[in-house]
Amino acid sequence: MSEKEYIHTVTINKKRCIGCTRCLRVCPTKALRIRNGKAIILQDRCIDCGECIRVCPQKAIYSKIDDLDIINNYKHKLLVYSSVLIGQFKKYKNFKKILNLMSYLGFDEIVGVDIGALIISDVIRSFLKHNRDKTYITTNCPAVVRLIQVKYPSLIDNMLPFKNMMDVAGEYLKKEYMKKNQVKEKNIGLFYLSPCPSKAQAVYQPEGEVKRIFDGVFSMEEVYNNLRYIMEKKDIHLDKDIELENVTESSLKWSTLGDVDSQFKDFTSLRIDGIDNVIEFLEEIEEGDFKEIDLVDMYSCQNGCVGGVFTNENPFVCEHRIRHIASSFPDSVDEIPPICEGDYCSLSKPLKPRPVEPIDKNMSNAVKKMKEIEEVFKKLPKLNCSICGSPTCYNLAEDIVLNEDVSIYDCPVVLRRNLRNMAKDLFEMAGRIDPIEEKKDKE
Amino acid sequence: MEKILDFKIKGRDFINAGESTSKMKNYFKKIGISSKIIKRILVASYEAELNVVAHADSGVMEIFVDEDKIVVTVEDEGPGIEDIDRAMQEGFSTASDEVREMGFGAGMGLPNIKRNSDDLEIESEVNKGTRVKMVFNVS
């Protein structure tokens, strides 16, 4: 059903994977299986949320993204960083010192994603004023966007028709830089510093866009390591004054913590974080709207983006630091940065659903297969132990009916029951005396 | 006509009314029914289920597939509907205060069912019970 190939950054290192099933059990879309002793990803189901990366004890799952040195391929190098970065440093509670430190990375211009939050919040506010017909969902977390495309296609119209804040920040930075320095677009390399694989994936394949906005993406882990390395050098100066005119307390909090309330005071808004909570809420919205809620800001990670897979600091500590830093900024700015030359906040094309294929295109065949699945499921122990290589007993039943390589004997409980019954039969059979021998004995 | 799902409905159990909805939803998604039609089936079925919860002691909901149609029947042994035509009017409600306080019984149940289904049959006998049959074209 998908119109183009799905690009994933989440990748499995087969050499490291021991098939332990840990990832199977946390995957929210049941996109993982263990086959031939190794984890595999079902491409049409994966939403790149990175929960599997988080739990893998072997560090066998990783996100395949760019190395920092690709910036050297471009004459002008621009970076949008996830503002979560400012909460990662122990002794750098001073925002300006962190920015000074980042200036050693080799970029010509750097902005935080909070500039995108500042710009887009204004656009969303005026949209919500005229659209109070349903509960709208923000597009900030790409894992949530893809979850809706794959599992909740009926909620596509609940998504705000706007870019997420990182893309807005990217468009803004690029346009501003081109205008200020009279530079052609082809000479610019625009990069994103991501707290998670989901946003990294969105750089390679932005939903609702015709072309890529960023030229590359780096993980916060890699950049953090680089910055720590720079900090060890003797000749760095971190006291240069940097003007911060477009930073507000609320944009900083919204872009890092999903603190949506502070940005949308005139509306009823909710932040929902953690993929299980997101799923529960989407299920409920799908079954009946929450008319009293205007806006939901959803994040796949617990605590929002501070809980991203690429962050190294404890999310609660990080949140505390960011709140501390944010409180030193004004609540609002006199003038929101101009949305220059055209509307760059709206999505370039409508978001499209990408539902998992039905079990059969013909409905009566599909119903037959559902019956078969139910029959197989009845025979399974319903322990959901994942040892068979499918995440739950129901998934195994589906895999048995829909995939010829999978057998009910992959279930260790069924296998043992069958072996026991066979052994009983064997024992009974072996205990019988051969009728021919019996005759001989009598003679 | 082939039965694919069935649910028992318990009177006055508003919290668990709706559990059938998510099971139906998952089933319909798997057999490839479009999300717009799923939504209509769910809205109509939920309203019909709630009518049983609000008025009867118990009932049964059954879901069938009939070629390119989904048929949902909801049957109860409840008080019955005195005047079906009147009950079909928007805002008409016989719900008790107890039911209204819980945010239900606004008199939109049957009109909502009619609006969301392609065909609707209601048979009812006072003091005996009600049978609602909803048909949805899925092709």
Q: At what angle do helices A197-204 and A142-151 cross, to 10 degrees?
A: 80
* Closest chain B residue to the Cα of A367, Cα to Cα: B31
- DSSP output for A36-97: TTEEEE-TTT-----HHHHH-TT--EEE----GGGGGGSSEEEEEE-GGGGGS-SS--SHHH
Whether residue A156 sits in one domain with residue A14: no
Both tokens assigned to A308: 């991203």
The domain boundary, picked from A326, A345, A371, lies at: A326
Whether residue A49 sits in one domain with residue A86: no
The pLDDT value recorded for residue A2 is 41
Q: Is B100 a catalytic residue?
A: yes
Which CATH number characterizes residue B62's domain?
3.30.565.10
Helices assigned H by DSSP within A152-248: 165-181, 197-204, 220-231
Cα(A109)–Cα(A71) distance, rounded to whole angstroms? 12
Cα(A7)–Cα(A4) distance, rounded to whole angstroms? 9
Chain B residues closer than 8 Å to A355 by CB: 29, 35
- DSSP output for A343-355: --SB-SS-----P
Contact B38/A367, CB-based, under 8 Å? no
* C-alpha Rg value of chain A to the nearest Å: 27
Name the residue facing B30 among A288, A359, A364 (closest C-beta).
A359
Question: Torsions phi, psi of A421, nearest 5?
Answer: -60, -40
Whether residue A56 sits in one domain with residue A84: no
Contact B92, B73 (CB under 8 A): no
Q: Is B2 a catalytic residue?
A: no
Name the residue facing B4 among A286, A288, A367 (closest C-beta).
A367
Both tokens assigned to A222: 């890699």
The pLDDT value recorded for residue A289 is 66
Has residue A351 been placed in a domain? Answer: no
Whether residue A400 sits in one domain with residue A277: no
Q: How many CB atoms lie within 10 A of CB B82?
A: 10
Instruction: Find the domain containing A312 and state its range.
Output: 68-326
Cα(B63)–Cα(B77) distance, rounded to whole angstroms? 18
Whether residue A427 sits in one domain with residue A307: no
The domain boundary, picked from A326, A352, A374, lies at: A326
10-residue averages of pLDDT along chain A (443 residues): 69 97 96 96 94 97 94 97 93 82 94 94 93 93 96 94 95 93 95 97 94 96 93 87 88 93 91 96 86 93 96 94 92 73 83 90 94 97 96 97 92 97 94 74 55
Chain B residues closer than 8 Å to A147 by CB: none
Contact B35/A153, CB-based, under 8 Å? yes
Which CATH number characterizes residue A26's domain?
3.30.70.20
Has residue A336 been placed in a domain? Answer: no
Q: How many CB atoms lie within 10 A of CB A48?
A: 28
Ranges of residues in chain B with a pLDDT under 70 are 99, 104
The pLDDT value recorded for residue A251 is 93
Q: How many CB atoms lie within 10 A of CB B125?
A: 10
Contact A220, A88 (CB under 8 A): yes
Whether residue A58 sits in one domain with residue A100: no
Contact A154/B31, CB-based, under 8 Å? no
* E strands in A241-351: 269-273, 295-299
Question: Which position among B12, B62, B77, B100 bears the catalytic label?
Answer: B100
Both tokens assigned to B7: 């649910």
Whether residue A312 sits in one domain with residue A377: no
Whether residue A79 sits in one domain with residue A48: no
Name the domain count of chain A. 3
CA distance B116 to chain A (A): 14
Contact A366/B42, CB-based, under 8 Å? no
Cα(B50)–Cα(B11) distance, rounded to whole angstroms? 9
Name the domain count of chain B. 1
The domain boundary, picked from A281, A307, A326, lies at: A326
The pLDDT value recorded for residue A127 is 94
